[in-house]
Amino acid sequence: MMIEKAYESVHFFHDSRTGLRAIVALHDTTFGPGLGGTRAISTYGTEAEAVDDVLRLARGMTFKAALANIPFGGGKAVIMLPKEPFDRAALFEAFGRAVDTLGGRYITTEDAGTSPEDVAYMRRGTSHVVGLPREMGGSGDPSPFTAFGVVRGIEALAKLHFGRSDLEGLKVSILGVGHVGFPLARMLHERGAKLWVADVNPEATRRAAEELGAAVVSPEELLSLEVDVFAPCALGGAIDDHSLPLLRCKAVAGSANNQLREDRHGKELHDRGIVYVPDYVLNAGGLINVAQEVEGYDEEKSREKVSRIYDTVYAILERAKAENTRPEVVADRIVLERLAKAKAEKGA
């Protein structure tokens, strides 16, 4: 995959004292340092699985940053958390020191399995980190900004493909109502959407039902619901050979990274008349928000930039519709054209 997708480098780190096992992938730094979160989970079966995950995520960050028009490249990290008890502060500080050895080519932040507090621990080992807690002058939890960007993208989708000026009565099914999925559900609820939710955590679905009036179903049932929008908001790979034939939605638009298990699944969605809004366009709000820290955090300015996801999504969907092609093909083409132009200018 590294050669095929043109990655710049992959770095492996191990610290026996803290139990740290981490991988950092840099996909492309043409536009600036690789900026992307650190995913910390204990469920990787093998190191190969972790490598596959970090490579896919890093490439997605290149495309996400380019389409968000922010001066950063694509980078990502994963930590294979120890299965035995460990000192969390020490482990993330050790990871910060590992990041520091890259000399600023990679700037990290939080992701699945990490928090602003973990980012604060990383900060003890490196200055190349954003997404710090508010009390440390950072932007705090980026999840609400990610959710806001997804809502803006769904609004663009509803306008172009459903001819709707608002989301009142829009039927949306959400897979995963955690850090991003719940604020997304809340914002959709506030805009009048009808919600169905599923999550492996019963407490998460109970909260969505009690506070937002969402209907709770099993993950399997959720896939086959006849809704306007299916929003995958858990881990990646939600659209695969098993789930795709079950879908009865009109569009897929969620916050999860790498929603298509394979590229061919995007074509299969298109062939079935299901609009897929590329995840790396839709979920860029969190990245845009933490990137604002580099020049000095300004929440109002950050929210304004995240809101522009509407314009980006609308332009991509409009072009895809005019060319009778898939939105992700259009989005990829835009990024590759921008990268080629920038590389040519640097070469010149």
* Residues catalogued as catalytic: 76
Q: What are the C-alpha distances in Å from 160 to residues 21, 33, 149, 164, 322? A: 45, 35, 17, 8, 12
Measure the CA–CA gap between 217 and 196, rounded to whole angstroms. Answer: 7
Residue/partner pairs of 102-105 with CB below 8 Å, 24 or more apart: 102/11, 102/24, 102/26, 102/128, 104/33, 104/128, 105/26, 105/29, 105/33, 105/34, 105/75
Measure the CA–CA gap between 79 and 62, rounded to whole angstroms. Answer: 20
3 state SS of 279? helix
β-strand 73-80 against 20-28: which pairing, if any?
antiparallel
Measure the CA–CA gap between 214 and 205, rounded to whole angstroms. Answer: 8
How buried is 53 (Cβ within 10 angstroms: 0-12 exposed, 13-18 middle, 19+ buried)? buried
